[in-house]
Amino acid sequence: MKEEQKHIEALHDIKDMMNRSSRFISLSGLSGIGAGLCALAATIYIWPVWLAVRGKLQAGNEIQAYPYPTTNVQSLLVTTGIITFLSALALAFLFTWMRSKKTNTSIWGRTAKRLLINTAIPLITGALVTYRLLELELVGLIAPSCLIFYGLALLNGSKYTVSEIRWLGICQIILGLINLWFIGYGLIAWAIGFGVLHILYGALMWWKYERV
């Protein structure tokens, strides 16, 4: 019995060491919830603009009540997008930092660097593609493009952090692809992907690993 316990412990140690040495595991579930809330806040903020733009596109003419000149819609979208991304990132960093304090692991190391590089490559590519779509006024493709590239970034990063992120990535990609055939519902898809899925994922992860 004592022997058995010793071997089980040894196997547990090995698994733990393999994980800790190759993956960035401090990523907190609360980060996901924080990012999701940021996305939902952005959705609420953009909602009236979106309705107006849609109304205009469908009616095919200027609507008098439309409060935003077209040129400003693009910069409004870009600014909101960037602010949302930065605040989500800041919250993610904060919660992860708090968790790493608690578990006494260093936040900046080889594993964190690898995770960042591997998510940044698809993410920056996606940001440039999305920006170009906006410039070409292909507004309907913006949300799917955000979702698909973000999903790919998560999928790529999942090898270097908690493996559950892979599923979040796959869900984002599927959502983005579905949205490609339902152009005009971009903001809703965006809110589900970046808002609801993030919160669900974050809550699950927190429940699974961080609950005391």
Partner 1 sequence: MNNPIEHLNKVFDSRIRLGIMSAVMVNDEVNFNDLKELIQVTDGNLASHLKTLEENNYIKVNKGFVGRKTNTTYAVTKAGEKAFKTHLEALEKMIKGMK
Of 43 and 100, nearer to partner 1 (C-beta) is 100
With beta carbons less than 8 A apart as the criterion, state whether 28 and 210 touch: yes
Q: How far is the CB of 201 from partner 1 (least distance, A)?
A: 25
DSSP for residue 181: T
Of 15 and 132, nearer to partner 1 (C-beta) is 15
Q: How far is the CB of 8 from partner 1 (least distance, A)?
A: 6
Strand partners, 57: none
Of 160 and 206, nearer to partner 1 (C-beta) is 160
Of 3 and 62, nearer to partner 1 (C-beta) is 3
Report how far residue 9's alpha carbon sits from residue 15's, in angstroms, rounded to the nearest whole number: 10
Full 3-state SS string of 25-67? CCCCHHHHHHHHHHHHHHHHHHHHHHHHHHHHHHHCCCCCCCC
* Three-class DSSP category at 151: helix
Q: How far is the CB of 88 from partner 1 (least distance, A)?
A: 29
Angle subtended at Cα 75 by Cα 69 and Cα 77, rounded to the nearest 5 degrees: 100
With beta carbons less than 8 A apart as the criterion, state whether 145 and 176 touch: yes
- Residues that bind partner 1 in the complex, under the rule CB under 8 A: 1, 3-4, 7-8, 10-11, 13-15, 17-18, 20-22, 106, 109-110
Of 10 and 78, nearer to partner 1 (C-beta) is 10
Q: How far is the CB of 206 from partner 1 (least distance, A)?
A: 25
Q: How far is the CB of 37 from partner 1 (least distance, A)?
A: 34
